[in-house]
Amino acid sequence: MVNAVYPGTFDPITNGHIDLIERATKMFKHVTVAVAHNTSKNPLFDMQERVAMAADVLKDFESVSVVGFDNLLVEFTKTHNASVILRGLRAVSDFEYEFQLAGMNRNLAPDIETIFLTTAEQYAYLSSSLVKEVARLGGDITKFVPEQVIAEIKLKLG
């Protein structure tokens, strides 16, 4: 079995992310959750907070580690002895962007494959951005993120 890297902003990590990671642990020897610095998305949490949240939520998965990164994804993947980049697809609208990323990554590092997993049906609509918006407006996010994440969001939003 090979190692995989699952990159994302994870601002915050959601139940959809966790479901995909759990499924990936059955397919790969080790899954590195790569938390991207990515300030262009104007994250609610800084990278260290997102890494800590994800590590806390995923602590019971023996074959999963959580690491922050701010370099080229294919370089990060190589340094973590992985040969697969794992990406989740929620809807057809995700595919075009993800297809472009996969093509660029293949061009930069032909020895690294990108594998897509479709999101579980119950999480197809779920995104970190929507979770934050619902939370900002006082809505109930208990079905979307773990308890630890709810606590962190409440602290951050006041």
C-beta of residue 120 within 8 angstroms of C-beta of residue 65: no
Any catalytic annotation for residue 59? no
Tally the C-alpha atoms within 13 A of residue 118's C-alpha that lie toward its C-beta. 7
Any catalytic annotation for residue 65? no
Catalytic residue among 30, 50, 87, 128: 128
Any catalytic annotation for residue 90? yes
Catalytic residue among 17, 30, 87, 132: 17
Strand stretches in the chain, DSSP E: 3-8, 30-36, 64-69, 84-89, 113-118
Catalytic residue among 29, 41, 136, 154: 41
Q: Strand pairing of 3-8 and 84-89? A: parallel
By C-alpha distance, which of 92, 107, 113, 111 is closest to 5? 113
Q: What is the DSSP letter of 26?
A: T
Catalytic residue among 37, 90, 106, 127: 90
Any catalytic annotation for residue 80? no
Q: Residues with catalytic annotation?
A: 17, 41, 90, 128
